[in-house]
Amino acid sequence: MPEFQPFAMERMMSRFEQDVEYNLSESGVHPVSLSELLADDPDYINHLLATELNYPHVNGIPELRQNIAALYDGATMNNVLVTVGAIEANYITTRTLLGAGDEIVIMLPNYMQIWGIAKNHNLKLKTFHLRQDNGWAPDLDELNETVTRDTKLIAVCNPNNPTGYVLTGAEMDHIVAAAERVGAWILADEVYSGSERLTDQQTPSFYGRYDKVLAVGSTSKAYGLPGLRIGWVVAPVDTIDDIWARHEYTTISATILSNKLAAIALSAQVRPRIIQRTRDYTRKGYPILQRWMDSHENTFSLTPPQATAIAFARYHFDINSTEFTERLCKEKSVLIVPGDHFGMDRFVRISFGRPQDYLTSALDRIHDLIVELRG
């Protein structure tokens, strides 16, 4: 077998997330039920029952692509390819644009998918960082130094997983300028756009700021619908066609039912309700986590996330992050993500977008392990 870089976080989650009593490893909010999704109109059910279980349009049904396009200034449905989750969108987009030896610059810390793709496909991997000592703002000097004439693609995640940092308009302009200077693409993973905690203003897309942007989105995080497995990429029409040609190799299409359900979720009628629901979860959950951390004096340092349902906290007790989370899983049946999965030991990523009782009980168990560790 060729050498292979596994996706450490997804490996851990797929092994344990269905078995633990408390799963705080997921980065989205508590999932929407089917009845909750369809609550606005009884005709939705009839519409779904009449569905022939055929292949849908391979690039996504028109109604869904229209609803996605409406979220991006200047996009039409021809700029949209529907994929099986953002994970497929990121994968086939990267594989379309880059071959072995091509230079990619990745924002870190990050959901490590594109990092792993770069390793597995022998891309020339370079990085720039969000700095904790600067409230997780990007190090733009480092970006400028890192991007060269050889850079083909800059991959960013905004709002960011795991820090919840949201780039300012000026920072976005700076990233665009760095790409424009060398003619590089920007792959903007924007799956957390809509999960803002501190504002009702949705995080703006990179799409429309520069002509070589690929904007990736999904129903999994901001919409609380990960089980639909619907993602998308929005890009120039000819590039969409090139990515679509890869999609025919990987999955052909998402399912017809998911296409239809996602079209309902992203409709003008339903979408505001679902987005509000996500924000309610993040806004109610975060203070619970914050109070819990505050009650552990000198134990955690956390820059509050501006968006997402996750907190990336540095901890100040003496154990490796993987060892800590493995013990938590085994001894307390609680799953969280070790900083090691982001290349940052002594951090943990904890989800707070859960119902209050669930979150409180899970945090109690984490507390118990911390007490045991301190002897």
Ligand X SMILES: Cc1ncc(COP(=O)(O)O)c(C=O)c1O
94 sits near ligand X (criterion: CB under 6 A): no
Per the document, the length of the chain is 375
- Among the listed residues 226, 305, 338, 353, the single contact to ligand X using CB under 6 A: 226
- Which residues inside 17-36 make contact with ligand X, applying CB under 6 A? 27
- Among the listed residues 60, 231, 305, 353, the single contact to ligand X using CB under 6 A: 231
CB of 206 to ligand X, least distance (A): 14
189 sits near ligand X (criterion: CB under 6 A): yes
CB of 191 to ligand X, least distance (A): 5
339 sits near ligand X (criterion: CB under 6 A): no
- Among the listed residues 23, 220, 306, 351, the single contact to ligand X using CB under 6 A: 220
Of 344 and 369, the one with the shorter C-beta distance to ligand X is 344
Structure tokens at 109: 């810390």
- Residue 54: which of 257, 250, 231 has the closest Cα? 257
CB of 232 to ligand X, least distance (A): 9
Structure tokens at 105: 């610059």
Residue 137 CB coordination number (10 Å): 16
- Among the listed residues 191, 233, 240, 334, the single contact to ligand X using CB under 6 A: 191
Q: For ligand X, how many residues bind (rule: CB under 6 A)?
A: 13
Q: How many CA atoms lie within 13 A of 214 on its CB side?
A: 31
- Among the listed residues 44, 91, 111, 206, the single contact to ligand X using CB under 6 A: 111
Beta bridge partners of 300: 315
CB of 45 to ligand X, least distance (A): 25
Instruction: Give the chain's radius of gyration (CA, Å).
Output: 20
Structure tokens at 256: 């017809």
CB of 225 to ligand X, least distance (A): 9
- The position carrying tokens 């493995």 is 326
CB of 11 to ligand X, least distance (A): 13
Q: Are strands 310-315 and 347-351 parallel, antiparallel or unpaired?
A: antiparallel
CB of 27 to ligand X, least distance (A): 5
Report CA 204 to chain centroid distance, whole Å.
Answer: 15
DSSP 47: H
353 sits near ligand X (criterion: CB under 6 A): no
178 sits near ligand X (criterion: CB under 6 A): no
Q: What 3-state class would DSSP assign to 216?
A: strand
C-alpha 61/C-alpha 259 separation (Å) is: 6
Among 15-23, 31-39, 49-57, 83-91, which window interacts with ligand X (CB under 6 A)?
83-91
Among 46-54, 66-74, 79-87, 337-345, which window interacts with ligand X (CB under 6 A)?
79-87
Of 161 and 259, the one with the shorter C-beta distance to ligand X is 161
CB of 157 to ligand X, least distance (A): 5
Report the residue closest to ligand X, judged by CB. Answer: 85
- Those residues whose C-beta lies under 8 Å from the C-beta of residue 73, and which sit 6 or more positions away, are 205, 207, 208
User: Are residues 207 and 188 in contact, defined by beta-carbon separation less than 8 angstroms?
Assistant: yes
157 sits near ligand X (criterion: CB under 6 A): yes
Question: Which H or E element spans position 10?
Answer: helix 8-16
C-alpha 268/C-alpha 88 separation (Å) is: 26
Backbone angles phi, psi at 259, to 5 degrees: -55, -45
Residues that bind ligand X (CB under 6 A): 27, 85-87, 111, 157, 161, 189, 191, 218, 220, 226, 231
